[in-house]
Structures are given as structure tokens and as C-alpha cells.
Amino acid sequence: MTHSAPRTRPSRAYFSSGPCAKRPGWRLQGLAGALLGRSHRAKAGKAKLKRAIDLTRELLQVPADYRIGIVPGSDTGAVEMALWSLLGQRGVDVFAWESFGQGWVTDIVKQLKLKDARVFSAGYGEISDLAGVDFANDVVFAWNGTTSGVRVPNADWIAADRAGLTICDATSAAFAQELDWTKLDVTTLSWQKALGGEAGHGMIVLSPRAVARLESYEPAWPLPKLFRLTSGGKLIEGIFEGETINTPSMLCVEDYIDALEWGKSIGGLTALIARANANTKALADWVAATPWIDFLAKDPATRSNTSVCLKVVDPAIAALGADAESRFAKSLASLLEKENVAFDIGSYRDAPPGLRIWCGATVEASDIKALTHWLDYAFASVKRDFSKAA
């Protein structure tokens, strides 16, 4: 048991699951080329936005016939745009195994009030019954459950000959996990997750099947301007060429381009995934050797390599009750933040008490390894304090 503070600290203490750590070597001076004080609708502004779209396509290996657009409201805005614009033509199966998935359930069932919606829910640490899906319906799911650390194992469960559309919230999976584009019709992500960009902007990726739905189907409800992807029954092509619906921050655009260029420079998607996997392995090796901690995700096959959620399983702490477990986990996170060792690693507010450590590609494996020693130190310190209080 570690009772003295470790000598080695993480070189960067940023393990938040969103906004996530900036890329290694990031400097504000690197954004000197940002198109500030200029219109995003000017030729130069649209060129910057188109560059962000093109680099996203290249880095994520998105098929050439898929449209990619920059949209307002981060990943949430992109998902809402898809739900409100596309659902209602047929039944919908919605899967939820954490808080954001449950949010899409609320939108579909209580806001859109779709009567033919089927909900497949699972508790934190588990995954919904994917085998129960009916691909005659549209299907809504998150590839990676950010607040539970549970992801789909692959896309094998998605039918290639589906009649409905798949709408996938991939914000904590993109740039860190393999996405099978042949199985995804609408995919959403945000800049502040896996590449450590700035918040406020989302992206929506549409397959040809999704475009066909948009151009042939009009929802029964009115659509706010921010959600409109078509005009006169035709796709607004400009959105997918850099003509955004609302005014984006060109500083954030420059920062996103910087992150994309970094990802490309280190070897592209393969290298980004390898870095996330290496970070997760460093954490998993420590978990395997540490009796007081475990993964929240029960099945290794569905365990995230980005938003890794952990729970304290020490019997002495568990014996104190749920309230004490919650206070203990918060105390761990608080001590590490006070030491400037790890910022924002407490579990999400709706999730079970514990820790959540981002292991995406912008984090260094050496920092994860250094953090594990501090986690042991924090556990010993906090447990000692709890024992004295008892």
C-alpha cells in the first residue's frame, strides 16, 4: 500500500472525458493562422471549413459518397438534428445503456412522442440486448457510452440489408475506434472529444440512404432553422461544403484543423486507435493488479478504450454503505485535483460513484502509468481518513 506521495507526476494532468486533453505539443501560438475578424461566408472562411470537413473524411476514412457537415450544438445538436429530421417514417428501436442514450430515449418517446418506439435499456456497466433489434425500424444508439464506459463490440449485429436507418452517436468513439461506415447511415461526433478540440461544434455524417430519406420524407412536426438539412425537398449541399447553418468560431475551426493535422502526421486513424488502446492497456494492467478497483463495464468485449469508468470495490468501503462509497470516490478525485495530478476524473453525475479516466489518443501512456501510482496513494490516504472518521 502506497503511503507516501509518488515522485513522478503525469506531465499533463488532463484526463477529463470532455472537453478532453489537447494534443501533445499543443500551443495557442499554433492557431496563429485562424481567420479571425473575417466572415465565415467569405471565400477564405468557407475554405477553412471545407478543409476541416475534408480532413475529417480523410482521417476517419469516410466513404466518398457520404456527406459530412459541420453543425451547431456539438454532438447533441447533431443527434437532435438527425432525430427530428429523419424519424417518424417507420418504427424506431432506441438503445440506451447510459445517460446520453437515455436522453435520446426521452427525445423520441416524450418530445417526438413516437408511439411505435421500442426502448432497449441496460444498467450502467452492461449493454442492451442488441440481438432484439428489428432492422425494419430505424435504430438509434451510441457506439460508445461515455458515462458508462461500455461500447458496442463491433458492427456485426447491424444488418447490411436493413430497411431502416441506423443513427449512431459516435462522439466518444470516432478517432479512437473502428467505425464500419457500411453499417452507419447517420453518424454524429463533436470536436471536443477524441481529438481534444474546442466545444460548441458538431459534425453529422450522412450515407446515401440517409440523404434519400431526407429528400423523400417530411416530418409531421415543424423543424427549427438549426435542424433543417433540406430546402424544397432537396439536400442543402452547401452545408456539406463549408456553408454552415449558423456562425462558427473560426478560432475553434483552426484548433480542430490543428488536431486533425496532428492525427494525420502521426499515422492517421491506425495510430490514433493504437494510442488509445495503449493508454487503456496501461490502466487495465494496473486494475488487474489492484484489488480495490475494477472496471464498471462488466464484459471486456464491450469495454471502452476512451471513457474508461472505474468503481471502488474495497470491502471495507462497501461496508460503510452507498453514501460513503460516493463520498469516498469524490474524495479520491478531489485529492488528485488538489495535487494537480488529475483533473475532472470523477464519475458522471448520473452514473454510479467512481472514477472516469479518458484514455483517448491525445493522452500519453506514460501519464496514465504515472497516474496509477497516484491513484494508489490517494486510495491509501482517503481510506486512512475514513478509518479515523469511523
* Mean pLDDT, rounded, for 265-275: 98
Residue 390's pLDDT band, with cuts at 50, 70 and 90, is: low
pLDDT of residue 1: 47
pLDDT of residue 185: 99
pLDDT of residue 348: 94
* Mean pLDDT, rounded, for 198-222: 97
Residue 148 main-chain phi, psi, to 5 deg: -120, -15
pLDDT at residue 320 above 90? Answer: no
Rounded mean pLDDT of the chain?
A: 96
| Domains of the chain in sequence order | 28-264 (3.40.640.10), 268-389 (3.90.1150.10)
Residue bearing the bigger pLDDT, 1 or 276: 276
Residue bearing the bigger pLDDT, 388 or 41: 41
Phi-psi category of 17—alpha, beta or left, where left has phi over 0 and alpha has psi -120 to 50?
Answer: alpha
Residue 385's pLDDT band, with cuts at 50, 70 and 90, is: confident
What is the Cα–Cα distance from 225 to 231, expressed in whole angstroms? 11
* Mean pLDDT, rounded, for 324-352: 96
**Helices within the chain (DSSP H only):** 43-60, 74-86, 99-106, 208-216, 250-265, 268-288, 315-318, 322-338, 365-389
* Mean pLDDT, rounded, for 8-17: 98
pLDDT of residue 2: 47
Tens-digit pLDDT profile for residues 44-77: 999 999 999 999 999 999 999 999 999 999 999 9
In the chain, DSSP finds a helix count (H) and a strand count (E) of 9, 14
The total of other beta-carbon atoms located within 10 Å of residue 152's CB is 23
What is the Cα–Cα distance from 279 to 149, expressed in whole angstroms? 14
* Mean pLDDT, rounded, for 158-173: 98
> C-alpha distances in angstroms, 332 versus 57, 87, 215, 356, 374?
40, 43, 52, 12, 10
Q: Residue 234 contacts by C-beta under 8 Å, 6 or more apart in sequence?
A: 215
- The closest alpha carbon to 354, from 300, 297, 273, belongs to 297
